[in-house]
Amino acid sequence: MTSAPLRLLHTDIDERVRLIREGHGDWLCGKGCDRCCKRLADVPQLTGAEWALLQEGLAALPPDQLDLIATRITALGPTPARPVTCPLLDPDSGACPVYAQRPVACRTYGFYVDRELGLYCRDIEQQVADGALDQVIWGNHEVIEHALARLGPQRSLTAWFEDWQAQRR
Ligand code: SF4
Ligand code: SF4
């Protein structure tokens, strides 16, 4: 179940994404584009509220699929080489198997910018450089960071997942 503060954050993000998509029908982000999931700077970091939601999605997966995810998480080890491919990503379809329950960072990537660092997605960054994306009112990533900080500390997906698996044994 999504906590009330997280639900509010999702609603804000969904609205920003909707407005951007509405004004740009050919926006790059879409099913099958998995490049961001394959070039993460680190293993996804989640607050407890985000993990509680993600865990629901994981628990609903077929056992075989969950086993494969567990294998990929173990293979990452304590210091994964960068760029990191998200261990949840389905390598065959390029889809996120827990799309409805995905973390906030996955929801904002491609639609939000950081004032200091700029855009995160290189493909969209290139479009901006080419002048193909004008009049985009980007989401403000600092606002997201502050909202997440209010949800509590973050832990890596690996840590959350391994604790969960240990409890299930
Ligand atoms: S953020 Fe970039 S890489 Fe990720 S789905 Fe959007 S266009 Fe594709
Ligand atoms: S949780 Fe899903 S959307 Fe997020 S990085 Fe992993 S596969 Fe991609």
Q: What is the pLDDT of residues 42-65, one digit of tens each?
A: 999 999 999 999 999 999 999 999
For ligand 1, residues with CB inside 6 Å are: 28-29, 33, 35-36, 109-110, 121, 123-124
Check the CA dihedral 93-96-82-144 and report its sign. positive
Q: Which helix (H) or strand (E) holds 143?
A: helix 141-150
* Overall average pLDDT of the 107-122 stretch: 86
The reported pTM is 0.93
Nearest to 127 by CA among 139, 117, 136: 136
Q: What is the pLDDT of residues 137-160, one digit of tens each?
A: 999 999 999 999 999 999 999 999
Q: Where are the domains of the chain?
A: 4-168
Q: Which ligand is nearest to the CA of 35?
A: 1
- The residue contributing the CA closest to ligand 2 atom 6 is 86
- The residue contributing the CA closest to ligand 1 atom 6 is 29
Instruction: Tell me the CB-side half-sphere exposure of residue 82, using CA atoms within 13 A.
Output: 5
Inform me whether the pLDDT recorded for 165 exceeds 90. Answer: yes
Number of other CB atoms surrounding residue 141 within 10 Å: 21
115 vs 57: which has the higher pLDDT = 57
> In this predicted structure, what is the pLDDT of residue 42?
93
